[in-house]
Amino acid sequence: MVPDKQYAVNEIFYSLQGEGWHTGTPAVFLRFSGCNRRCPFCDTDFSHATMMDAREIACACAAFPARHLVVTGGEPLLQLDSALLRVLKASGFFVQVETNGSLPVPPEVDWVTCSPKEPPYAIDRVDELKIVFQNQDVESVAGLFETPRRFLQPCSGSNVEETIAYILEHPHWRLSLQTHRFIGIR
């Protein structure tokens, strides 16, 4: 590990996981700056970044009581590497990454949430698939990823009824809501 390697961190905070398989789980969120996609519904302000090394990140995350860490962005796999993951794992973290699927996942990651946006995809494993539903052909996208855990999430909460109707007609999907927004937490 290069001890002085710097990572562009957008924010670190503590809350409940609001989406997908781990909804309701107390978690530390490590949000990196930067992304290789430009989604119109993205909720991340990429103009802010604090440069931190692996030990600083691990210490900041360990200041919270939970040991479930959600690494997100932007696209966290642009920065998340084995060196940082080893330091986080040494601090006792279960590491979940939320990725757009464009990059391979380091082997130290415990859980991979893939929310694919656009090809090409280079992801090599997926524990759960979470697609932001906008009436697109989700079946052909889902066919590219092997996982039985498949979630559809309304786009910014604007098409909840359409998403529910689709799931009722296609029961191999589950609903993922941004519950953190509904209950007013981060």
- In tens, the pLDDT along 86-133 reads 999 999 999 999 999 999 999 999 999 999 988 999 999 999 999 999
Q: Where residue 44 falls among pLDDT bands split at 50, 70, 90?
A: low
User: Is residue 2 assigned to a domain?
Assistant: no
For residue 37, the model assigns a pLDDT of 76
Mean pLDDT computed over 48-56: 95
Give the pLDDT mean for 161-185: 90
Of the ranges 68-77, 97-106, 149-158, which one carries the lowest mean pLDDT score?
Answer: 149-158
Query: Domain span at residue 119?
Result: 7-182
Whether residue 137 lies in the annotated active site: no
42-46, 63-67, 143-147, 165-169: range with lowest mean pLDDT: 42-46
Q: Give phi and psi for 168, each to the nearest 5.
A: -65, -30
Is residue 39 predicted with pLDDT exceeding 80? no
Query: Would you state the structure tokens that stand for residue 94, as one six-digit string?
Result: 């279960």
Nearest to 76 by CA among 40, 25, 115, 41: 115
Query: For residues 121 and 136, what is the distance between their CA atoms, to the nearest angstrom?
Result: 17
Residues 170, 164: Cα–Cα separation, whole Å:
10
Lowest pLDDT segment from 11-15, 16-20, 35-39: 35-39
**Catalytic-residue membership of 61:** no
Q: With contact defined as beta carbons under 8 Å apart, do 25 and 78 qualify?
A: no
Q: At what angle do helices 82-90 and 54-62 cross, to 10 degrees?
A: 40
Nearest-angstrom CA–CA distance, 174 and 66: 26
Q: Is 114 annotated in the active site?
A: no
Q: Report the C-alpha gap between 114 and 83 in whole angstroms.
A: 22
Residue 1 lies in a domain: no
* pLDDT given at position 42: 64
> Is residue 153 assigned to a domain?
yes
Look at residue 52 and tell me whether its pLDDT is greater than 60: yes
The yes-or-no answer on residue 13 being catalytic is no
Q: Known catalytic residue: 39?
A: yes
pLDDT greater than 70 at residue 172: yes
CATH of the domain at 82: 3.20.20.70
Counting the structural domains of the chain, the total is 1
Catalytic option among 11, 25, 39, 162? 39
Please pick, among 35, 53, 68, 114, the residue that the annotation labels catalytic: 35
3-state secondary structure of 144: coil
Question: Would 29 be classed as within a structural domain?
Answer: yes
* Structure token pair of residue 50: 């604090």
Mean pLDDT of the chain: 92
